[in-house]
Chain A
Amino acid sequence: MEASLMNVQTQSPHDLPLRPPPGREERRRSWLMKLRKQRYLQVMALLGIVWMAVFCYVPMYGIIIAFKEYTITHSIADAPWVGLEHFRAFFEDEELGNVIRNTLGISLIKLVIGFPLPILFALFLNELRAMRFKKAVQTISYLPHFLSWVILGGILTTWLAETGLINNVLLSLHLIKEPISFLAEPSYFWSIVVTSDIWKELGWSAIIYLAAMAGVSPDLYEAATIDGAGRFQKMRYITLPCIRGTIAILFILAVSGILNSNFDQILVLRNSLNESASNVIDIYVYQTGLLSSRYSYSTAVGLIKSIIALILLLFANSVTKRLNNTSLF
């Protein structure tokens, strides 16, 4: 409160118009004076702009190689134009169907199962009465978020190996007769990816919802208690509606990321045997681009992905805006 009141006064006296009719020349002079006064500030800001120019905008310019035949012997500008050749090649590639199926399949399952689960988890966690227990559960649940996919890949390959824990347990329960080589079997790949992703991020994703729940007014719960509402009813009719805005924002982000099927994770878990289920757009771009050096082609595929992602973001944003009056921008 105090801070926001103070912020109103941040304009220093120099910003106020000096005399009633400042001429064009005079305004320019005061602008230059203002610029001189904030020269350190401008340098600090421009350093950031320079960094973004080099590491964000130069790569954006580099996208034009998608429309050229770029090889390392040319510079980007000198490479000959080939128009939409690479885009056509992608749509004729027999991998296309597979890549799209895997990308969308994995992402949609993650969206349908992985998106609501943290909300549910947060709802139940929020109902715990013992504060210390609640805190402990929270701390434990987001521990995996801090482990790298390489480590998790190591754990998973150990567990899922033919002599690993999962097979041992299944064998000793007589659920299977032969050990299964899970990571060599395409049909298991999606479930492994989705489950391990939920395992890693469940607690972490719940933090935002918990924080939003902490902001719900206790009066509402007291009123509901007096009206005779049970725990589930309070969850359903008070907590959930109160965190709708947060859910909407995160949903927009999840939808726009639908073509990002967690590159790090899949790179660790994929192998030549599960390729038919693990080849997603990002992996395909990496393989064709960096491993096979088809720079232009790979950039074209990446560009298609970026544009679809951008359209999805705008679409999800406008839908939630209309339904919920919440939006990202």
Chain B
Amino acid sequence: MLNRNRKTTGESVFDAFNVVLMLLVCFATLYPIWYVLVNSLNDGQDAMRGGIYWWPRILSLDSYRAVFESSGIMTAMGVTVAKTVLGTLIHVFFTAMVAYAFSRKQLIGRKIYMFIGTITMFFGGGLIPYFLVIRDLHLLDNFLVYIIPAMFSFFDLIIFVSFFREIPSGLEEAAEIDGANDLGIFLRIIIPVSMPVVATIALFHGVYQWNDYFTGMIFINEMDLQPIQTYLYRVVAESSSNQMAASMPGGINKNVTSQSIKLATMVVTTLPIVLVYPFLQKYFVKGMLIGSIKG
């Protein structure tokens, strides 16, 4: 809407005030992240003195070198990448598949299935009964604990279902006439035309997998199966820098401190998400909408 009327003084004041307010919000959001970045790029010993607010005082990549040379951190990173990629692929495929079945009106038992699912959104067994199930399935200290219990979500199913409903049924009917069965229709027709919602759920679940530290913390004891977030959690919350120090190759650099490695690890852990999300945002804003309005 172009407003060709002259702006009143009040309007101008409002606009100026609003812009300043928004700039403040942006600053408050970005600065903490910037602070971590510049401090991680500074020489570790020197950063201990504090006072690094805007730019590194003594630029040094030693902390990053230490991170990439530490086998513990890199193993944890590998576990995280693996569980994020695999977990996301399986979650999206499986949830979409079930959602496709649930979205077909002719499905016998559809109402009962939906009812069974809806209950799971509002009531659960709680931590201990869940833990016992995971234990009885022999998923403790097992990489699959990142994948199988997370491969389905009823909430995501609802988002998929409302998207699938909007697909013209002519597409499916044409494929049916060509002799495709329901699985074929799902794979060849539905998935390709549903890329916006697939991308949304993939991003949501990818972020969940990447950020999840709780699964690694309670179901995994073995160090080699720990994701990077659990690793960081132990360093951050339990303030035990011993773990980091222990995983550092001996005498690599005196200028590196456990604090500077912690910051560098945080940056390395966060970077992939920060790089990916601006590209996907047009998808997930739409996905959020579908999820919120109909969910």
Contacts and interface: CB of A to CB of B under 8 A. Distances in A.
Contacts of B98: 44-45, 47-48, 51
Given A128-B19, A133-B22, A41 B101 contact: yes
B180 to A, nearest CB: 10
Interface stretch (B60-68, B149-157, B194-202): B149-157
A155 B14 contact: no
Given A45-B101, A159-B32, A313-B122, A151 B128 contact: no
Contacts of A249: 292
B179 interface: no
B117 A52 contact: yes
B182 A63 contact: no
Contacts, number: 281
A224 B34 CA distance: 43
Contacts of A141: 25-26, 29
Given A55-B133, A60-B129, A289-B128, A11 B1 contact: no
A57 B129 CA distance: 10
B158 to A, nearest CB: 12
B245 interface: no
A302 B22 contact: no
A15 interface: yes
Contacts of A290: 127-128, 131, 218
Contact of B129 (A45, A59, A164): A59
A289 B129 CA distance: 10
Interface residues of A, number: 101
Interface in A172-206: 199, 202-203
Interface of A: 2-3, 6-7, 9-12, 15, 31, 34-35, 38, 40-42, 44-45, 47-49, 51-52, 54-63, 65, 76, 121, 124-125, 127-129, 133, 136-137, 139-141, 143-144, 146-151, 153-155, 157-159, 163-165, 168, 199, 202-203, 207-208, 211, 218, 221-222, 225, 230-232, 246, 249-250, 263-264, 267-271, 285-286, 289-290, 295, 298-299, 302-303, 305-306, 310, 313
B108 to A, nearest CB: 6
B239 to A, nearest CB: 8
Given A52-B116, A155-B266, A231-B14, A63 B108 contact: no
B105 A10 contact: yes
Contacts of B5: 225
23 contacts: A2-B168, A6-B168, A10-B169, A44-B101, A44-B182, A48-B98, A48-B101, A60-B124, A62-B132, A65-B129, A124-B21, A133-B19, A147-B211, A148-B210, A150-B213, A150-B229, A150-B236, A151-B269, A158-B263, A168-B51, A249-B292, A263-B214, A313-B122
